[in-house]
Amino acid sequence: MVEDEENLAESLRRGLSADGHIVDVAHDGHRGLDLALAGGPYDVVLLDLMLPGPGGHAICTRMRAHGDTTPVLMLTAKDGDHDVAEGLDAGADDYLTKPFSFVVLAARIRALARRAGAGDDGGGPLQAGDLVLDPRGRRCRRGGRDIELTARELGVLACLMQQPGRAVAKQDILDEVWDPPQAVDPNIVEVYVSSLRKKIDAPFGRRSILTVHGTGYRMAPDGG
């Protein structure tokens, strides 16, 4: 989300997090452009039109010039047809005129993410033995049982399952799952790994997330 009205950005971030999304926020166009081009991959990018630094149009144009096809939802305070046409010309997939209701925004995001996911084989289910994680559907199963995970737990687990057998540094997990502007202690990852183990391993008598001392964690390719 690239939105310079900080109160609006914070309330949207909270609402979207409550909906199970992991949201990175930029408050100006420069940071927004950096995140859009290198912070992802994202399922959807929300771009405010008027921003300090490069505006929403410029960011969207640059993304498309880089071959980035991530769905873009443009947020605009203007509602002239001209602006809408401009946004769509820049490669935006949809737009929403402020003020908008959160319910409408959430529905548009779901629709965009679904449309993008339809032709995408990069976000398919991840598997390690009988442990199955569907990051897009936000579902985790083991031994035929559904396991309830929070958005962050799901992000950490997906990060490990995408690289089975490989040691993944705590900092890399942090970079992948946490909002980059937050200065978070990498040890926070331990808290999430510990709660994941209680959900996906302990009840099944398994050890799928292995500690790699001095580095981070490794997913057992066979699910432990």
Instruction: Give contact residues for Ca ion (rule: CB under 5 A).
Output: 4, 48, 50
Residue 89 Cβ, how far from Ca ion at the closest point, in Å?
Answer: 19
Q: What is the DSSP string of the chain?
A: -B-S-HHHHHHHHHHHHHTT-----BSSHHHHHHIIIII---S-EEEESS-SSS-HHHHHHHHHHTT----EEEEES---HHHHHHHHHTT-SEEEESS--HHHHHHHHHHHHHHHHHT-STT--EEETTEEEETTTTEEEETTEEE---HHHHHHHHHHHTSTTSEEEHHHHHHHHS-TTS---TTHHHHHHHHHIIIIIGGGT---EEEETTTEEEE-TT--
Q: Which is nearer to Ca ion, 32 or 71 (CB)?
A: 32
Residue 3 Cβ, how far from Ca ion at the closest point, in Å?
Answer: 7
Residue 87 Cβ, how far from Ca ion at the closest point, in Å?
Answer: 14
Q: Which is nearer to Ca ion, 29 or 71 (CB)?
A: 29
Q: Which is nearer to Ca ion, 4 or 83 (CB)?
A: 4
Cβ-closest position to Ca ion:
50
Residue 186 Cβ, how far from Ca ion at the closest point, in Å?
Answer: 33
Q: Which is nearer to Ca ion, 24 or 48 (CB)?
A: 48
